[in-house]
Amino acid sequence: MHGTVQGVGFRMAARREAERLGLAGSVRNRFDGTVEAEAEGATDAVAAFGAWLAHGPDTARVDRVDATSIEARGEAGFAVR
């Protein structure tokens, strides 16, 4: 996610949302000021998470989301990295 996404509680809010949706994966800050998330689970839950990431928590301003599909890794739980 691009925009005002670091230092605003984005990663913790993303973990709460992912856990609510029953997803596994992770979210992390990147050095370029963006936030990167990977999620796996039911297709509808992943889609709902993607829709949530497009706006994030009220404290964030998401300007752009770059999304790609990746191979599932069989992760357990959702980590903030």
* Domain boundaries defined on the chain: 2-69
Contact 59, 7 (CB under 8 A): no
- Per residue of the chain (81 residues), give pLDDT as tens: 999 999 999 999 999 999 999 999 999 999 999 999 999 999 999 999 999 999 999 999 999 999 998 888 888 999 999
Query: One of 11, 16, 20, 73 is an active-site residue; which one?
Result: 11
Give the global pTM: 0.94
Query: One of 29, 30, 61, 73 is an active-site residue; which one?
Result: 29
Q: Which residue in 37, 38, 34 sits closest to 4, CA to CA?
A: 34
- The pLDDT value recorded for residue 14 is 99
CA–CA gap between residue 58 and residue 51 (Å, rounded): 14
- The pLDDT value recorded for residue 72 is 87
Residue 81 appears among annotated catalytic residues: no
Residue 16 appears among annotated catalytic residues: no
Which token pair is 1? 């996610």
Look up the CATH number of domain 2-69: 3.30.70.100
